[in-house]
Structure 1
Amino acid sequence: MATEHHTTDTRITVSRTFDSPAPEIFDVLTLPSRHKEIDGSGFIVSDDHTNRITAVGQVFTMNMTGDHMGGDYQTDNHVVGYDKNTLVAWKTAPAGTEPPGWEWVWELKADGPDSTEVTLTYDWAAVTDKALLQKVHFPLVSESQLEDSLGNLASAVAG
C-alpha cells in the first residue's frame, strides 16, 4: 500500500494500490455525499443534495469551509472527465461562477480482480487569472493532504 507521488509547479499527483476492485472504489468516488469521508484537506462540510456522478457535463455542489475563503462557502464542481470504473474528474469553481482552472482527476487502473491502482491529481496549470493567483496561494491542498485522501478513500471503500 505504498504511496507514490509526483509534484511539479502546477500539479501534484499521488498514487496508491488498493486491495479492492475498481467498481467498488468508483462507486464511492462518484457519490458526492461520500466526499467528506475521503477529503484529506478538511475543507468539505457536506454535499448539497447532489446525485451520483454519471457523465461529463454534470455539476455537483459542495458545502465547504476554510480560512482561505473567510469561512463557509459553496463550490460548483463541473464534471470534465468520466469513464465508468476508470476515470472521474471535475473542475471546481466558487458557486455560481465558471471554473477558474483547477481540477481534480481520479484515475483507477485495475490490477487483477481485487487490486486497483488509484491516482489522484490536483492540477492548477490552467489558472491564469493574475488577481486570483495573487489572492490564492496554490496549491491550496498539500501533497500530504492528497495522500490522506487516498488513505481515507481506502477506509471508506473497506468500510
Structure 2
Amino acid sequence: MTVEQVEQGPRQIARTVEVPASAEDIFALVADPHRHGELDGSGTVGGTVSGPRRLTQGAKFSVAMKQFGFPYRFTSTVTRIEDGRLVEWRHPAGHRWRWELTPLTPTSTRVTETFDYSTVPAVQGKVYELLGFPRQNAAGIEATLRQLASRSAGA
C-alpha cells in the first residue's frame, strides 16, 4: 500500500491511497463524526464528539482534540456532501477538510484526504505555513490513510 501525494492546487495538501473496502463502507465511517477517532492517524482527535451520527449538508459537529499537549474543542460545519463519494467540512478557522471516495471495484476504493487552506485569507495562510501546519497535516493525512488501508485489509 502506497500513499501518494496529489496536486489539488495552491494551499491544498492532499494524499491518496487505494483501500480494500467499498466506497459505501468507507463513507459510513467518514460521514459519522463519532467514528473519526477510528480514522485519525495524527493522534489529535479525541473520542468526545457531539453531533449527528450521519453528516448532512450544513450539519455541525463538535470534536474534542489535543495538540501540543493542550486539549481544545471546536465545532465544524459540513460544506459539501455527496452520498458515497465526498464529505467536506469547514473548521472554525476557515480551512476545510475533504474526503473524496472513488470506487475502483465493488471492494476497492481510491480515498483522497485534503487539508484545504486556500479558503483562508493570505495572511492567515502564511501563519499556517510559519507554524508548519501544511507539513504536520501532510504527515497526519499519510498516517490516517495508511491506518485506514491497513485496517480495511485486516477486516
Question: TM-score scaled by structure 1?
Answer: 0.83
Question: Is the deviation greater in 111-120 or in 126-135?
Answer: 126-135
- Listed as ranges, the gaps of 5+ residues in structure 2 are none
Correspondence for 1:128: 121
Is residue 87 from structure 1 mapped to residue 82 from structure 2 by the alignment?
no
Correspondence for 2:46: 45
- Does the 8 Å contact 2:97/2:116 carry over to 1? yes
Shift of 1:114: 0.8
Q: 1:6 to 1:87 in 2, by over 3 A?
A: same
- Listed as ranges, the gaps of 5+ residues in structure 1 are 94-99
Correspondence for 2:146: 151
CA distance in structure 2 between the aligned counterparts of 1:85 and 1:2, rounded to whole angstroms: 23
- Does the 8 Å contact 2:118/2:125 carry over to 1? no
Question: Is the deviation greater in 47-56 or in 71-80?
Answer: 47-56
Question: Is the deviation greater in 17-26 or in 33-42?
Answer: 33-42
Size of the alignment, in residue pairs?
151
CA distance in structure 2 between the aligned counterparts of 1:152 and 1:51, rounded to whole angstroms: 24
Post-superposition CA distance 1:23-67 (Å, at most 9, x none)? 011111111121112112211112323222331100000001112
Q: 1:124 to 1:131 in 2, by over 3 A?
A: closer
Structure 1 runs of 4+ aligned residues shifted over 4 Å read 155-159
SS of the residue 2:50 aligns to:
coil
Shift of 1:19: 1.1
Correspondence for 2:12: 11
Question: Is the deviation greater in 16-25 or in 122-131?
Answer: 122-131
Shift of 1:2: 2.0
Is residue 118 from structure 1 mapped to residue 111 from structure 2 by the alignment?
yes
Question: TM-score scaled by structure 2?
Answer: 0.85
Correspondence for 2:2: 2
